[in-house]
Amino acid sequence: MSMVAYLLEVGCEELPASFVDSALEQWRTGIPASLAEAHLQAEQMQLFGTPRRLAVLLQGLPTQQPDRTLEVKGPPVQVAYQDGRLTPAGEKFAQKQGVDPGSLEIRQVGKGSFVFAVQRVRGRPTAAVLQELAPTWITSLSGERLMRWGYGDLKFPRPIRWLVSLWEDQVLPLLWPTSEGNPLPGLVAGRVSRGHRVLGSQQVVLERAESYVQQMQEAGVSPDPTAREAYIQAEVTKLARQVNGEAQIPAPLLREVVQLVEWPTAVLGRFEPEFLRLPVAVIETVMITHQRYFPVRDGRDPQKLLPYFITISNGDPRQAERIAAGNSRVVRARLADARFFYEEDRRIPLAQRVERLQAVTFAEGLGSMRDKVERIRQISRLIAAALKLDPQEQALVDRTAYLCKADLVTQMVYEFPELQGIMGAEYARQDGEPEAVAEGIEQHYWPLGAGEALPASLTGRVVGWADRLDTLVGMFRLGQIPTGSSDRFALRRAANSLVLIAWDAGWTFDFNSLLQRVVQDYAAGDEKTLKALQEFLLQRLQILLQEEKRIDYDLVRAVVGDPEALQEGEPAKSDLPRRALANLPLTLLRAEYLQHLRATGELADLYPTLNRCARLAAQGDLDSAVLDPAAAVDADLLQEAAERELYEACQRVYRLGVEPALQGDFTPLVEGLQAAAPAVDRFFEAVLVMDPDPRLRANRLNLLGVLRNQSRLLGDMGAVVMAGEAAPAKSH
């Protein structure tokens, strides 16, 4: 069978850079899946994207779908046939499947016989299939702020101005999946594309699908984002070296710039050295965030900037000098503004700005930012007490909390909001505040996003925790709980940060107690708010364990339990969730150790014994906190040698394994449980647990309950799913 190529290009007005990246990623997975569903596969798929176009080139496509045989299982033979003739049920099945009743086949399945409808489906021409599939590749793209235009019904980020659909060297018309036909009146797929707005021709007549890249390049368009990225990175690096510098190339900026140009030209610009007296963060913010420029650092001292920048032009390379001069004028004006704001801000010490926060609203119903600062100070004191900080550390934390939001009323942060915290730290240093305070002001916002750096300073950690706790408690008190994809106040990120910081800092204090105190102080002890917050935090903990730490879902469930159990108030089920929040680093260690036991095969050996104990112990009423056998079992009632042996095994686990497990060392506990396994087996062989005598029955259930409780220091074996078992339902 011969192989062919197909090209689809969607030409638009300038698309947002973020949408181009997103669209190509959606196509990267969606197009192969769409083809596979149609029983087709391309040998090679190339994706292209620029500000004005999205395109896909499929090479090595078969000319026709393969022929297929469809088999559908029908009713049992005794239902489909009676006295050798088809029953109404059999006829209805054949009619529904579109087959001749006489073609039904009888097959043995397991212990019964069933009728089967067998259809032989001839493959359709691939071109005909693509006529239907290609439009869905366009209409299925999702993004923010989609729009309609003209008389069309299609939603897209920007108006579509041309379509190319080539099957080898032939135009392949598109069949749109709408009842009205083409949702873009007047726009029909053809072979005419468009070149670069400045460097290329208005119309590019494509000869065939596989000539796309060459013809686009001849028209001043570099369609491959990967090639543009590599070129930009190399050119920026080369230009920086020409001035003995080292280009700063942030990955997000590089990705954005790649999708802002069709034919990139790196241009070196400069500004007056006097602007270098501004803080480096200010200059970089002006360049990177506002102008999409690449700053140039001193090659001999990377902490310093040089008075140069590199911009990526989408214009005529022959006009590089004019482009550089124009961009230099723009950046000079922006830096002059920044210098004015900076000098004005320095006239007033940071501490004198705190009271001005009274005029800044935090959130409706939660007062001003000045009110929030006081709450942060109070919560910071609670955290400091839980951490047992010394008086000097407490003073540094309190000063950081007092100043942490003061830069919000500076002119610099008003103009450049992304500098919050950074300018606060800069102004604090200039005011003579301790370095720990300056670091804490900046770092209390950390992490700034997923995968970003966590606060390294004690002040940043404590004040960051207090800030997020205040926000979470306040928003939950107002009922602003995230639902679905809606999270206006970034509460999921705040909760994630609490967990990540606690893990990183090794904070082992009881988070439940702290949370209860904060809710008591700022939500009048509202039990509904407390439980909703605990459930929310547990759900974030579960997600972080699974996605950040790669712990298997069932093992996460074994450690964290069911977050909804807190709402239901069932003591037997709520102990694990409470324990998970009580010591966040220990919860992480438990999950990681369970994953280790699974990897070594030890969990598979322990599971049958401990799971059987847990299931039977559930019929008793022993409190899950009881770990000492002597506190739960009457030794005088142990009649059988096997139960005395198990009692002694539980005592050894308690004596040697419990205390280390509470400190994060689970090896002695697991070794004790492994040693107890033979005793458990002999116990079940020789002892009637559910004895008619209620005293013996309760005593034996307590004995099993103690072993269950000891094993739950690691996790709930009832939640573990071994191979071949059904997984428990997931929480949302």
Mean pLDDT score, 137-161:
87
Mean pLDDT score, 600-620:
90
Residue 345 has a pLDDT of: 95
pLDDT-derived band at 573 (thresholds 50, 70, 90) equals low
Distance, in Å, from the CA atom of 392 to the CA atom of 394, rounded to the nearest integer, reads 5
Paired residues of 44 in beta bridges: 59
Name the most confidently modeled range: 147-151, 217-221, 620-624. 217-221
Residue 181 has a pLDDT of: 61
The tokens 């004895």 sit on which residue?
Answer: 691
Mean pLDDT score, 300-314:
93
Q: Among candidates 591, 544, 579, 602, which has minimal Cα distance to 722?
A: 602
Q: Of residues 518 and 574, which shows the higher confidence score?
A: 518
633 three-class SS? coil
**In the predicted structure, residue 731 carries a pLDDT above the cut 50:** no
**In the predicted structure, residue 466 carries a pLDDT above the cut 50:** yes
Mean pLDDT score, 214-237:
96
pLDDT-derived band at 565 (thresholds 50, 70, 90) equals confident
- Convert the pLDDT of each residue in 329-372 to its tens digit: 999 999 999 999 999 999 999 999 999 999 999 998 999 999 99
Q: Helix/strand/coil (H, E, C) string of 641-676?
A: HHHHHHHHHHHHHHHHHHHHHHCCCCHHHHHHHHHH
The Cβ of residue 330 has, within 10 Å, a number of other Cβ atoms equal to: 16
Q: 216 near 287, Cβ under 8 Å?
A: no
**In the predicted structure, residue 182 carries a pLDDT above the cut 80:** no
Residue 632 has a pLDDT of: 92
**Average pLDDT of the chain to the nearest whole number:** 91
- In the chain, the N- to C-terminal Cα span, in Å, equals 49
pLDDT-derived band at 568 (thresholds 50, 70, 90) equals low
**In the predicted structure, residue 150 carries a pLDDT above the cut 90:** no
Instruction: Please give the sequence-ordered ranges of beta strands (E in DSSP) within 395-546, or none if there are none.
Output: none
pTM (two decimals)? 0.81
Mean pLDDT score, 658-678:
93
Distance, in Å, from the CA atom of 8 to the CA atom of 30, rounded to the nearest integer, reads 14
- Convert the pLDDT of each residue in 47-91 to its tens digit: 999 999 999 999 999 999 898 888 899 999 989 898 888 899 998
Distance, in Å, from the CA atom of 90 to the CA atom of 80, rounded to the nearest integer, reads 4
How many CA atoms lie within 13 Å of 299's alpha carbon, on the beta-carbon side?
10
Q: Among candidates 236, 378, 212, which has minimal Cα distance to 294?
A: 236
Distance, in Å, from the CA atom of 384 to the CA atom of 658, rounded to the nearest integer, reads 29
Task: Give Cβ neighbours of residue 163 (< 8 Å, ≥ 6 apart).
Answer: 8, 9, 10, 11, 174, 184, 187, 188, 189, 190
**In the predicted structure, residue 724 carries a pLDDT above the cut 60:** no
**In the predicted structure, residue 728 carries a pLDDT above the cut 70:** no
The letter for the amino acid at 608 is P
Paired residues of 310 in beta bridges: 268, 294
Q: What percent of the chain has pLDDT over 70?
A: 96
Q: What percent of the chain has pLDDT over 90?
A: 74
Q: Of residues 460 and 144, which shows the higher confidence score?
A: 460
Tokens standing for 443? 């770092």
pLDDT-derived band at 111 (thresholds 50, 70, 90) equals confident
The tokens 């003579």 sit on which residue?
Answer: 432
Tokens standing for 623? 């409190």
Question: How buried is 272 (Cβ within 10 angstroms: 0-12 exposed, 13-18 middle, 19+ buried)?
Answer: exposed
**Sign of the CA dihedral with 120 first, then 126, 131, and 137 last:** positive
Mean pLDDT score, 693-722:
91
**In the predicted structure, residue 572 carries a pLDDT above the cut 80:** no
104 three-class SS? coil
Identify whether 273 is preceded by a cis peptide bond (ω within 30 of 0): no
